[in-house]
Amino acid sequence: MNIIKMNNEDIIGQAAAVVFAAQVIKKPASVLGFATGSTPLLTYEAMVAMQDAGIVSFDEIITFNLDEYLGLNSEHPQSYYNFMQRNLFLPLGLQKENIHLPNGVNPDPIAECAHYDAEIQKAGGIDLQILGIGENGHIAFNEPADTFTQGTTVMTLTPSTISANRRFFDREDDVPRQALTMGIATIMAARQIVLIATGINKAQAVHDMIKGPISPKVPASILQMHPAITVFLDSAAASML
Ligand code: GLP
């Protein structure tokens, strides 16, 4: 793991955006894996600013998001599809056919998972994946469990994740209890990964991810085995290392 500590989350966002720009300069039609949550927002802002400034063009990228809530359609204000459209895809002017997220309203979620994995394979796998981390060490929506997940799967969210995501919904009861998520094996197959963690509420998870044993109880700990991962941390998130 390449661990980079920075004081300021704005600078982290810019540094992560530079990693994406470099990837796209090398390969314009890169397959990029995106994440939701508050953490990557500054990276997305910086990517849009770079494109607006004419430094790089993300026109040709093919995107795969980590996850989607089960039961929310793409129009729902809190669907991850909607989140990505607002914060990255529309500002970058991406074509709809190049954007992929699991379909949260497919009546056959198991078939949807298999279809999503097939689409990732068909695109040639993910070149660069951005990740955040949950307070309980989850990545994407892979919650602490007895075994690591493989491909895309239906996950029941833990009370910790439900309460962390409650801030996006009017009422706790509105937070979906299940999600479709890329599996750990799929994430590990990404050729390059950037993980960002900021804030004191991530300090324990960051400690366990980097210093703890590799265990499905802390899904992010598997990233110790990834050959090309950069972890950007602010001082609060790095405070227990
Ligand atoms: C959700 C997402 C994860 C994200 C996590 C942390 O669970 N599925 O991909 O990493 O939230 O979000 P935040 O960055 O808002 O702390």
The 10s digit of each residue's pLDDT in 195-230 is 999 999 999 999 999 999 999 999 999 999 999 999
What does the CA dihedral 90, 95, 98, 101 come to, rounded to 10 degrees?
40
pLDDT on residue 190: 98
Q: Label residues 56-78 b or e (16+ Cβ within 10 Å = b).
A: bebeebbbbbbbbbbebeeebeb
134 CB within 6 A, ligand 1 = yes
* Average pLDDT in the chain: 97
The 10s digit of each residue's pLDDT in 1-55 is 999 999 899 999 999 999 999 999 999 999 999 999 999 999 999 999 999 999 9
Residue 190 · residue 74 · CB < 8 Å: no
pLDDT on residue 55: 95
pLDDT on residue 88: 98
Q: Rounded to whole angstroms, what are the CA distances from 32 to 85, 147, 157?
A: 15, 26, 25
132 CB within 6 A, ligand 1 = yes
pLDDT on residue 112: 98
The 10s digit of each residue's pLDDT in 52-92 is 999 999 999 999 999 999 999 999 999 999 999 999 999 99
Report how far residue 209's alpha carbon sits from residue 221's, in angstroms, rounded to the nearest whole number: 4
The 10s digit of each residue's pLDDT in 113-138 is 999 999 999 999 999 999 999 999 99
pLDDT on residue 1: 96
Please state the atom number of ligand 1 nearest to the C-alpha of residue 80.
Answer: 8
| Residue whose entry in the numeric block shows the structure tokens 């989607």 | 68
What is the residue type of 185? A
pLDDT band at 154 (very low <50, low <70, confident <90, very high): very high
Report how far residue 137's alpha carbon sits from residue 141's, in angstroms, rounded to the nearest whole number: 10
Distance 36 CA to ligand 1 centre (A): 6
Distance 139 CA to ligand 1 centre (A): 7
The residue whose CA has the least distance to atom 5 of ligand 1 is 134
pLDDT on residue 58: 98
Indicate the pTM of the whole model: 0.96
Element (H, E) at 83: helix 80-84
pLDDT on residue 23: 98
Report how far residue 141's alpha carbon sits from residue 102's, in angstroms, rounded to the nearest whole number: 12
Residue 186 · residue 120 · CB < 8 Å: yes
The residue whose CA has the least distance to atom 12 of ligand 1 is 37
Give percent of the chain above pLDDT 70. Answer: 100
CA 85 to chain centre: 15
